[in-house]
């Protein structure tokens, strides 16, 4: 099958994400990325002007996809607790998906390598994701389910959820649902009401 522009770009990003995840951004060369895709090094620049642009595209795509999953999950829930569970589940689904796991690991670890101009669109996505969390936390607070600072709660949740990308080996839908339930029970213990 002949690769289209879109599929070639997608292949470059998937292979680069895997290399960045396994070897680190600094230790991965353009030549290695090109080899992983079956291209000449110079041909890679037809798709991306620099290695920084590849990293920015990996992070942007993974964050946009994660945001869309979280928004869709939360939109289907009706109660504050249910919306928080949906947010946890959506975050884990996006993070632990086999096709995007390396991209999310790269997003978490390699963000600091991006120059300022390439960070701005990503920061807008991060702001939108944070706003979704704040909306759900406001609902929890209004329902008297959240008894701690939203800032502390948010950072504690995000830190714990993101580390699952390194230790969670069972990424089946059933395992992700169990993990979301466990996080829900840990973070918002059900008092029987």
Along the 193 residues of the chain, how does pLDDT read in single tens digits? Answer: 233 446 889 999 999 999 999 999 999 999 999 999 999 888 888 899 999 999 999 999 999 999 999 999 999 999 999 999 999 999 999 999 888 889 989 998 998 889 999 999 999 999 999 999 999 999 999 999 998 999 999 999 999 999 999 999 999 999 999 999 999 999 998 764 4
Would you say residue 15 lies in a domain? no
DSSP letter for 4, please. Answer: P
104 CB-near residues (< 8 Å, 6+ apart) = 62, 66, 94, 95, 162, 165
d(CA 6, CA 23): 26
Range of the domain at 104: 50-187
In a domain, 109, yes or no: yes
36 occurs within a structural domain: no
pTM over 0.85: yes
Residue 57 lies in a domain: yes
Our count of domains for the chain comes to 1
Q: Is residue 42 part of a domain?
A: no
For residue 21, being part of any structural domain is answered with no
> What distance in Å separates the CA atoms of residue 193 and residue 172, rounded to the nearest whole number?
31
Helical axes 116-142 vs 80-96, angle rounded to 10°: 150
Q: Report the alpha-carbon distance of residue 169 to residue 54 in Å, rounded.
A: 27
The answer to whether position 154 is within a domain reads: yes
DSSP state of 3: P
Question: What's the CATH code of the domain at 111?
Answer: 1.10.357.10
Residue 25 resides in a domain: no
């Amino acid at each position: 099958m002949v690769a289209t522009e879109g599929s070639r770009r997608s292949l470059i990003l998937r292979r680069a994400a895997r290399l960045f995840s396994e070897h680190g951004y600094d230790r991965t060369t353009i030549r290695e990325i090109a080899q992983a895709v079956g291209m000449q090094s110079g041909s890679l620049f037809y798709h991306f002007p620099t290695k920084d642009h590849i990293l920015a595209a990996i992070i942007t795509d993974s964050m946009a996809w994660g945001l869309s999953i979280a928004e869709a999950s939360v939109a289907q829930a009706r109660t504050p607790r249910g919306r928080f569970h949906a947010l946890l589940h959506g975050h884990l689904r996006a993070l632990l998906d086999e096709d995007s796991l390396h991209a999310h690991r790269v997003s978490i670890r390699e963000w600091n390598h991006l120059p300022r101009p390439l960070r701005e669109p990503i920061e807008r996505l991060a702001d939108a994701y944070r706003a979704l969390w704040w909306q759900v936390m406001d609902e929890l607070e209004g329902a008297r389910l959240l008894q701690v600072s939203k800032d502390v709660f948010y950072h504690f949740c995000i830190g714990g959820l993101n580390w699952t990308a390194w230790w969670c080996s069972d990424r089946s839908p059933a395992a992700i649902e169990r993990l979301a339930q466990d996080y829900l029970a840990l973070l918002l213990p059900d008092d029987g009401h």
